[in-house]
């Protein structure tokens, strides 16, 4: 078990990098005219991977060995690497980007960001008993995570103020003046949470909506296959296949989001519709019964969840790219990608906590023991109690999801704009801002270089 946990951590480290970098690279290397298609492609990949994973996992565990769940990553990763190397464009077709040194990375902010995310999710993942909510194992990491988050939001303004003082010391304000560090150009710090993004109301609303809609989507991807197996008595493969209606709807949603935002930006309407559809689906799922027969309505209601998530995944990616300055594109897309997974992780943790609390309080200990070790030993009465417990747990999960999605709708209001502009106009505005920023940087560096040359000659 120790090896499994350690190697899964290594796998997660690599997987998170691939997930974030793909979101960053694709918009950067894509022409403006095709960015709407890339956003739809990104959303499509996410929904196919999210729902296709349980299907493939069910196939592998039913017909081979559970070890193939891990071995399959070898050939898939090899083919992906080969395609990446063959398809990477020539250097002349790549955008002009500025390189940053390692010393410009905000390591403190990155550490606080990771610590807060991990420590906040961890206690909910382990809160499987009603008494554990007040235990030190739950409260200590939760408070530590909230403290890390508070320190992060205090650290970012402090770092921004220090950078502003550094610029003033190098004469940035006038293009001349003395430098306190020997004529070195002011450092362009790569903030973990860039202030220019935190100050953009539309971007913050996009990030919050992305995180909050990730919560119910991944909760559904996790919780419903469990229900299909326990309540309906289906195999792992059948449980995965029963998610395909949600997958198809999510794929349609990504395409639809790209189509409706082709000319005039309708991010507010698209993301609001995303929340509303997911809220509708989760609300209707509270009517699921505890019978052993498959209810068609349960699968049908998941279509609303999938369609809403597909709309939000594509529109959120497009909105983040359009709202962020060019020099912060990588951070903007990386943050949106990570908060989606953070929201999903919280959703899965909430699902585990609710189901764990329900099974511990409502199910007889012997039934719980047989369910884990030998389900065939359960009698009809015990099966009825188990199905009722799992159904009540699902109803609680869906109520929580509805509350989260209602909050997501409130956050989406931050995207509302009375004046509409096209995607092309938004991109042109960002390019003008980048051109002005680079001209200002050249105006600052040129006098400093001349002063440095003069000092060396005088010596």
CA distances from 211 to 275, 337, 338, 345 (A): 12, 9, 8, 10
CB 437 within 8 A of CB 224: no
Burial class (CB in 10 A: 0-12, 13-18, 19+), 93: exposed
Could you give the CA distance from residue 190 to residue 323 in angstroms, rounded to a whole number? 18
pLDDT bin (cut points 50, 70, 90) of residue 186 is very low
φ/ψ (deg, to 5) at 105: -80, 135
| Tens-place pLDDT, residues 327-364 | 787 788 888 888 988 899 899 989 988 888 888 888 77
**Cα–Cα nearest to 192, from 145, 144, 140, 148:** 148
Could you give the CA distance from residue 334 to residue 94 in angstroms, rounded to a whole number? 19
- Joined tokens for residue 241: 């296949």
CB 179 within 8 A of CB 171: yes
Share of the chain above pLDDT 70, in %: 84
pLDDT bin (cut points 50, 70, 90) of residue 85 is confident
- The answer to whether residue 81 scores a pLDDT higher than 80 is yes
Neighbours of 94 (CB within 10 A): 11
Q: Quick one: angle between helices 296-323 and 201-230, nearest 10? A: 160
Could you give the CA distance from residue 202 to residue 187 in angstroms, rounded to a whole number? 27
List 105's β-bridge partners, or say none: 190
CB 246 within 8 A of CB 220: yes
pLDDT number for residue 399: 97
**Start-end of H helices in 242-328:** 244-260, 267-285, 296-323
Q: How far is CA 326 from the centre of its chain?
A: 21
Could you give the CA distance from residue 346 to residue 216 in angstroms, rounded to a whole number? 9
Neighbours of 131 (CB within 10 A): 10
CB 16 within 8 A of CB 345: no
pLDDT number for residue 357: 83
**Cα–Cα nearest to 16, from 112, 157, 138, 118:** 118
Spell out the long-range contacts of 199-205 with Cβ–Cβ below 8 A and sequence spacing 24 or more: 200/323, 200/324, 201/414, 202/267, 202/319, 202/323, 202/414, 202/415, 202/417, 203/319, 203/320, 203/323, 203/324, 203/332, 204/414, 205/411, 205/412, 205/413, 205/414, 205/415
Check residue 10 and give left, alpha or beta (phi > 0: left; psi -120 to 50: alpha): alpha
Q: What is the 3-state secondary structure (H, E, C) of 94-126?
A: CCCCCCCCHHHECHHHHHHHHHHHHHHHHHHHH
CB 185 within 8 A of CB 102: no
- The answer to whether residue 179 scores a pLDDT higher than 50 is no
| Tens-place pLDDT, residues 394-438 | 999 999 999 999 999 999 999 998 877 767 777 777 777 777 776
- Joined tokens for residue 195: 């202030």
Q: How far is CA 360 from the centre of its chain?
A: 31
**Start-end of H helices in 192-266:** 195-198, 201-230, 236-241, 244-260
Q: How far is CA 419 from the centre of its chain?
A: 29
pLDDT bin (cut points 50, 70, 90) of residue 228 is very high
CB 270 within 8 A of CB 313: no
- The answer to whether residue 185 scores a pLDDT higher than 60 is no
pLDDT number for residue 368: 75
**Cα–Cα nearest to 250, from 192, 171, 309:** 309
CB 298 within 8 A of CB 285: yes
CB 331 within 8 A of CB 190: yes
């Amino acid at each position: 078990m120790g090896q499994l946990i350690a190697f899964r951590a290594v796998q997660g480290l690599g997987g998170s990098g691939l997930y974030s970098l793909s979101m960053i690279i694709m918009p950067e290397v894509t022409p403006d005219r095709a960015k709407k298609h890339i956003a739809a492609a990104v959303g499509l990949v996410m929904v196919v991977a999210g729902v296709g994973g349980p299907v493939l996992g069910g196939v592998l565990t039913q017909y081979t060995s559970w070890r193939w769940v891990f071995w399959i990553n070898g050939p898939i990763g090899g083919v992906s690497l080969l395609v990446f190397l063959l398809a990477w464009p020539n250097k002349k077709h790549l955008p002009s980007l500025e390189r940053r040194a390692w010393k410009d990375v905000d390591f403190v902010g990155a550490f606080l960001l990771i610590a807060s995310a991990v420590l906040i999710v961890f206690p909910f993942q382990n809160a499987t008993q009603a008494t554990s909510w007040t235990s030190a194992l739950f409260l200590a990491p939760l408070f530590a995570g909230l403290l890390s988050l508070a320190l992060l939001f205090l650290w970012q303004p402090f770092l921004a103020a220090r950078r502003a003082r550094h610029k003033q010391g190098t004469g940035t304000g006038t293009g001349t003046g003395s430098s306190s560090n020997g004529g070195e150009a002011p450092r362009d710090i790569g903030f973990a949470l860039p202030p220019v993004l935190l100050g953009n109301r539309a971007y913050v609303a996009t990030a919050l909506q992305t995180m909050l809609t990730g919560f119910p989507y991944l909760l559904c991807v996790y919780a419903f296959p469990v229900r299909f197996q326990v309540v309906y008595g289906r195999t792992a493969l059948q449980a995965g296949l029963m998610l395909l209606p949600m997958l198809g709807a999510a794929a349609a949603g990504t395409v639809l989001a790209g189509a409706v935002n082709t000319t005039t930006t309708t991010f507010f309407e698209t993301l609001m519709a995303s929340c509303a559809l997911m809220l509708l689906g989760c609300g209707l799922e509270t009517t699921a019964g505890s019978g052993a027969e498959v209810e068609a309505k349960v699968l049908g209601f998941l279509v609303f969840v999938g369609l809403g998530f597909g709309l939000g995944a594509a529109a959120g990616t497009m909105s983040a790219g359009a709202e962020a300055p060019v020099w912060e594109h990588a951070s903007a897309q990386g943050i949106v990608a990570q908060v989606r997974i953070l929201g999903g992780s919280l959703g899965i943790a909430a699902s585990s906590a609710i189901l764990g609390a329900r099974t511990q309080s409502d199910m007889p200990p012997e039934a719980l023991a047989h369910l884990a070790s030998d389900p065939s030993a359960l009698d009809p009465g015990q099966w009825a109690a188990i199905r009722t417990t799992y159904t009540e747990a699902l109803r609680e999960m869906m109520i929580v999801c509805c509350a989260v999605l209602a909050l997501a709708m409130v956050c989406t209001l931050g995207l509302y704009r009375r004046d509409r502009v096209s995607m092309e106009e938004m991109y042109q505005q960002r390019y003008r801002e980048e051109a002005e920023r680079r001209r200002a940087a050249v105006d600052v560096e040129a006098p400093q270089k001349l002063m440095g040359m003069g000092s060396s000659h005088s010596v």
